Amino acid sequence: MRIAVGVTGASGAIYGYTLITALSNLGIEVHAVYTDMGRKVFEYECGLTIEDVKKHAVVYDNSDLFAALASGSFKTSGMVVVPCSMHTLGALATASGRDLLTRAADVTLKEGRKLIVVPRETPMTAIHLSNMLTLAKTGAVVIPAAPGFYHRPETLDDIINFMVGKILDIFKIEHSLYMR
């Protein structure tokens, strides 16, 4: 199994990093792309660098439209954009493909593969909601970064793992990130 992960500049970079490490720890091949702001927010919020990500994933430069992720012939089981900024959400809803992350997501949809977007913004405008609806109508799965609390989380990791576990559930990947 091979999964692509896109990380944008929205707050919540820990969700992307936790997903990447969880997939890697489960023996799944991970291909990641960070927007420029995604890298900056990741470093700021997590206190880590892209070198830490490279221990768990193949990492591409977002400006490299010749990268494998830009081609439909590069087979993946799907892609997750987590966190997904409203800027990127709008680009995905219009299939702009202006950089590697948005091109890879567009390829994921056109090839009929799973695309999951995890928007992390509040409150949302009607434009944001419309863009989510547009993506959902094309087959994308929208999982807002809105963790549940019925599993009685005790730590921040419990809350993060709940959201990452929900993403893994869409791919039908067995995990023990939260109590069911």
Is 11 annotated among the ligand-binding residues? yes
Dihedral sign for Cα 134, 113, 143, 58, please.
Answer: negative
Is 166 annotated among the ligand-binding residues? yes
Taking the C-alpha atoms of 100, 91, 72 and 173 in order, what is their torsion angle to the nearest 10 degrees? 90
Is 150 annotated among the ligand-binding residues? yes
> Which amino acid is it at 64?
D
Is 71 annotated among the ligand-binding residues? no
Is 179 annotated among the ligand-binding residues? no
Is 86 annotated among the ligand-binding residues? yes
Question: How far apart, in Å, are the Cα atoms of 92 and each of 48, 107, 132?
Answer: 27, 11, 9
Is 10 annotated among the ligand-binding residues? yes
Is 87 annotated among the ligand-binding residues? yes
Report the 10 Å Cβ neighbour count for 162: 18
Is 55 annotated among the ligand-binding residues? no
| Alpha-carbon 121 to chain mean position | 14
Beta pairing partners, 30: 3
Is 56 annotated among the ligand-binding residues? no
Residue ranges of the binding site for dimethylallyl phosphate: 150, 166
**Binding residue positions:** 9-11, 35, 85-88, 120, 150, 166
Extract the annotated binding site for FMN.
9-11, 35, 85-88, 120
